[in-house]
Chains A and B, each alone.
Chain A
Amino acid sequence: MTHRARALRIGLVWGLAVTTVLVAVPLALRERLPEPLATHWSGRPDGSMPLALFLALSAGLWLPAWGILLAALLRGRVLDHRSGRAQWWGLLAGIGVLPAGMSLVTLLANLDATSWREAAPLGPEFLVPVVAAVAAGAAAGYLGRGAPDVPREPGHAPPGLPLSPDRRVVWVSRVRNRLLLALSRTGMAAGAVVAALSLVMELPGPAASIAWWSLPLWLAGYATATVRVRVTAQGVAIGFGPLGWPARRIPMARIERARVEERFPAQVGGYGLRGLPGSATVMVRGGECLVLDYRSGGRLAISVDDAERGASLVNALVGVRA
């Protein structure tokens, strides 16, 4: 059995187990729980919600996350690299343990209480699921990391490109991630609706703050779902988003050389703008990337189609100028 088939099988069984804990256990204990049940504590219980909403929220947080992990396994090449395997297994375990643990702690505190205000006080116990989730994630990531990666060739040099002073040569390319585009549009719309609602009414739990804080993230996702790259004698210009703005311009004088490398989201920590300045990656989709090595020692990688021709032109222009 391949690693992927095994991961799929374990992922399915684990996901069903977590779903059972989230849905079946509260339903089985229904007779011994107050209605509504306490769901928020500040030492003593100070917030409540009906059992149905509690079930919907727990399942609503877990099921999409589980679905995304399984989809990533089926569609992507997430298990091809050690960092990808470690992240996938770690997330699968951690994201499962967290809601299951939270749900169990909540149920335990509510068990046999006559009303939600009578629920047992909760102090630092609520940290137990968090610690357990982190520990489970770390352990699963470690166990699932598999064999070390076969060292790849450090990016191949593109073919040379002859330039002559009476010719103007430019390279234009773009790349888009349809899934990220659709996801960030939906997320932005949903976040904006919830954020707007939170201005006029009281929303349960942390919904409002999650919505507000998620907006910049969706916006960042939207802005990095499309990238256009342009190489001219002046330098390399990278335009983000459907409007090509914001844009980043790198003068030719800063670039030492360009090369082409295969990179995947699992290696650089996901999609979007990843890493710190000096070793950043603009990851729109896995695969062919244009890598610019700076004279200062840093580098910038951009996932873009037709990267080889772009790299050839950068090298030719850098050579001509030097």
Chain B
Amino acid sequence: MLLTLDLNDPRPLHEQVAAAIRRSIAEGSYGPGDRLPPARDLADALGINANTVLRALRELREEGVLEFRRGRGVSVASAVEGRVRLVMRARELLDEARRHGYSRDELIDLLKELP
């Protein structure tokens, strides 16, 4: 799992980690049902607190991207399809737009202009 943190990103760290994991799943490095590396490994690699990673993982579970199973760790939800995937990619798009200095409304305008 390839994770990227932008050091100039003003958002809270757990949101950045959630965005990085979301991006990694959206790129297809982990498919439905695949087990994620343990939170501790991710935290060690990123040089951050394991609780921050756990918070990001919980956010992604609430979004429906991840599943937590007792004894089996954290895996990509088997139903990351349809709406969940669309929401995930919309978030991606919003993050990308913000990185380039576009606001939410400007992005919506951009979408409306599309045929």
A-B contact pairs, 7 of them (CB 8 A): A167-B4, A170-B45, A171-B3, A174-B38, A306-B30, A309-B29, A312-B2
Write out the residue numbers on chain B whose beta carbons fall within 8 Å of the beta carbon of A172: 1, 3, 37, 41-42, 45
Contact partner of B5 among A168, A244, A313, CB < 8 A?
Answer: A168
A241 to chain B, nearest CB (A): 13
Q: Write the chain B residue with the least CB distance to A174.
A: B37
A166-B41 in contact (CB<8A): no
Bound complex: CA A263 to CA B6 (Å): 35
Interface residues on A, range: 20 to 34
A126 to chain B, nearest CB (A): 50
Interface residues of A in 116-174 (CB under 8 A from B): 161, 166-174
Write out the residue numbers on chain A whose beta carbons fall within 8 Å of the beta carbon of B38: 174
Q: A167-B7, A168-B5 are in contact. Are A232 and B45 (CB under 8 A)?
A: yes
Contact with A along B50-88 (1 / 0, CB 8 A): 000000000000000000000000000000000000000
Q: Write the chain B residue with the least CB distance to A232.
A: B45
A171-B2 in contact (CB<8A): yes
Contact partner of B44 among A161, A230, A306, CB < 8 A?
Answer: A230
Write out the residue numbers on chain A whose beta carbons fall within 8 Å of the beta carbon of B8: 166
A167-B6 in contact (CB<8A): yes
Write out the residue numbers on chain B whose beta carbons fall within 8 Å of the beta carbon of A167: 4-7
Q: Write the chain B residue with the least CB distance to A233.
A: B47
A228: CB under 8 A from chain B?
yes
Interface residues of B in 94-108 (CB under 8 A from A): none
A230-B41 in contact (CB<8A): yes
Which of A172, A244, A309, A312: most chain B CB closer than 10 A? A172
A interface, CB within 8 angstroms of B = 161, 166-174, 228, 230-232, 244, 306, 309-310, 312-313
Bound complex: CA A268 to CA B74 (Å): 33
Q: A228-B41, A244-B41 are in contact. Are A169 and B3 (CB under 8 A)?
A: yes
Q: A168-B46, A170-B46 are in contact. Are A313 and B2 (CB under 8 A)?
A: yes
Contact with A along B1-22 (1 / 0, CB 8 A): 1111111100000000000000
B1-A173 in contact (CB<8A): yes
Q: A166-B6, A172-B3, A173-B1 are in contact. Are A306 and B29 (CB under 8 A)?
A: yes
B2-A309 in contact (CB<8A): yes
Bound complex: CA A228 to CA B43 (Å): 14
